[in-house]
Each structure stands twice: as structure tokens, then as C-alpha cells.
Amino acid sequence: MAEESVLRLAEISRLTTTLREKRDELNTEAQQLVKKRDRLNAQVAEWLSKAREHREKRDDNNKKVAEFKVKRDEIFSKLKDKIDERQDTEEVAQEIKNKTSAPAHVLRRKIRELDWSLQTQVLDLKHEREIIEQITQLEEELKVAEDAAAKRKESVRTRTEIEDLRLLMNAQHNSVLEFARLSQEENQFMIEAYAEVDSLRKQADEAHRRYLETRREADETHRRFIEAKQENSRLRKEIGEVRIRQRVEKIQELEERLEEKTSTALEKFKRGERLTMEEFSLLMKRGLL
């Protein structure tokens, strides 16, 4: 029984050492997984912050796109009105022009020439009336020609306004395109940042899952280690008790043998027989001599 306990104790001692080493390895691995999980979670928070920043920039750019679109459309509406206005002015100017026989400066010159004839020449009444009628007719034509010239000036001014509006509208449209491009860039950055967040979260979740698994295995190994230690202590106590009992039994057996030898030596002494040195010494120690 004692030999079986000793063998079992050796086995339990080896198991205790193995379990302790495995538990310590698992605890070390669990600590590393916790650090990895926390590091990944910190990176998740960092990338989330970047994603939110890109989203805010994208939204700001989208807002600017909408604002510039409104301005562009307002200018385009004014531009259409100006184009229609210029077309009307050009049509009116052309209609007026068709009613005149010559440009305004030619008509003015003819009027001046006729007027000069009236002032410098002696004309009969009929001829004078003819010239006056010509002047009157030319003055009417001049008024029409001047109206046509005014319309043409108005058309030129409107054309300048149209060009200015076109430039302004193009500027607004370019701003729309630029901020739309920036918005698209920020949106792409945001998508990439959220993709990185998802990837890091999966890694962090996997690290946490492995940590819990390792932690459970470490706890189970520790439980088995404690049980092995308790079994080790029990076996040591049991073996110690057996050894003490065996030692006592040996002492008792030795004492019985000494008692027997002492009794034999004492009988020999009483019979007057010669004692050995061992027998003599034994009787002396017992106080029987």
C-alpha cells in the first residue's frame, strides 16, 4: 500500500508541476490577448474618430455643393432672362432699322446739308417747302434711327451682362464640381476608415474570444492544479502516517526482541551460566545487575 502511495505521489507531483506550468503559460497568453484586444480597441476608437471627421467634412462639402447649386441656378435664371431680353431688343432694333433709309450719322449730315441750303440759298417758296418736308421726313427717320441705335447700345450692354453672368455661373458651377469632388474624396476616406474599423473590431472580438477561452482553460487548469496539490498533500500525509506506523512497529518489534533477549540472559544469570558481552551489557542497561 505504501509503495502504491509513493508511486501515486510521484505521479501527482509530476502532474502538479505540469499543471502549474500550463496554467502559468495560459495566464501569460491571456495577458497578451488582453493587451492585444485593448490595443485593437484603441485603434478602433482612433479610426472611428477619423471616420467621423471625414463624414463631417463630407457633409460640409455637400452643404457647400447645395449652396453653390442654388446660386448657380439663380444666376442661370437671370441669364435666361437676359438672353430673352437681348433677343427681344435685337428684334426691336432690327425692326426699327428696317424702317430707316440710312444710319443716324448719314441722316444728320443730310439734315445739316438741307438746313444749310435753306440758310444760304435764295429759294422759291415751292422749293423751300420741298426742302422743309425733306428735313421733316429725315428728322422722323433720324428719331427712328436713334431709337434703333439706343436699342443696339442696350443690346450691347445686355450682352456684356450676359457674359458677366455666364462667367459668374461658370464660377459657381466650378465650385459645385470642386466641392463635389472633395465630398467624394472625404466619402471614400470615410468608407475606408469604417472598413478599417470593422476589420479591427473583428480582430479585437477574436482576441477577446480567445482571451475568454484561454482564461477559462487557465481557470480549469488552476482548479486541477489545486486538486493535484491537495492530493499531493493527502498522499504525503498518508505516506508519513504509514512510515511513522512502520517505524513504531519496528521499534515495538525491536523492543520485544530485546525483552526476549533480556529475559533469556537473566535466566542464564540466575542459573549461573556464563553470559556474553552483549547479554551482560543488556542486563546492565536494564538495571538487572
Q: What is the pLDDT of residues 186-242, one digit of tens each?
A: 999 999 999 999 999 999 999 999 999 999 999 999 999 999 889 888 878 877 777
Q: What is the pLDDT of residue 204?
A: 96
Which comes out higher in pLDDT, residue 71 or 267? 71
Which comes out higher in pLDDT, residue 58 or 280? 58
pLDDT at 58 over 90: yes
Which comes out higher in pLDDT, residue 15 or 69? 69
pLDDT at 111 over 90: no
Q: What is the pLDDT of residue 93?
A: 54
Band of residue 73 on the pLDDT scale cut at 50, 70, 90? very high
What is the tens place of the pLDDT at every residue in 113-157?
777 877 777 667 778 787 778 878 877 777 777 776 777 777 678
Are residues 158 and 96 in contact, defined by beta-carbon separation less than 8 angstroms? no
Which comes out higher in pLDDT, residue 266 or 45? 45
Q: What is the pLDDT of residue 94?
A: 62
Pick the CATH number of 14-204 from 3.30.70, 3.40.50, 1.10.287, 1.10.3470: 1.10.287
Q: Which amino acid is at 172?
A: Q
pTM reported for the whole predicted model: 0.59
Band of residue 99 on the pLDDT scale cut at 50, 70, 90? low
Share of the chain above pLDDT 90, in %: 41
Q: What is the pLDDT of residue 55?
A: 96
Report CA 139 to chain centroid distance, whole Å: 82
Q: What is the pLDDT of residue 95?
A: 57
Rounded Cα distance, 103 and 182, in Å: 56
As a whole number, the mean pLDDT across the chain is 84
Residue 31: other Cβ atoms inside 10 A: 13
Band of residue 88 on the pLDDT scale cut at 50, 70, 90? low
User: How many Cα atoms within 13 Å fall on the side-chain side of residue 38?
Assistant: 6
pLDDT at 2 over 60: no
Q: What is the pLDDT of residue 288?
A: 67
pLDDT at 1 over 60: no
Q: Which of 164, 272, 284, 213 lies closest to 26 in space, CA to CA?
A: 213
pLDDT at 87 over 80: no
Band of residue 102 on the pLDDT scale cut at 50, 70, 90? low
Q: What is the pLDDT of residue 185?
A: 96
Distances 2 to 44, 66, 230, 246 between C-alpha atoms, Å: 61, 93, 18, 10
Q: If you write DSSP's letter for every residue of 193-211 in order, what string do you get?
A: HHHHHHHHHHHHHHHHHHH
Q: What is the pLDDT of residue 101?
A: 61
Q: What is the pLDDT of residue 97?
A: 59
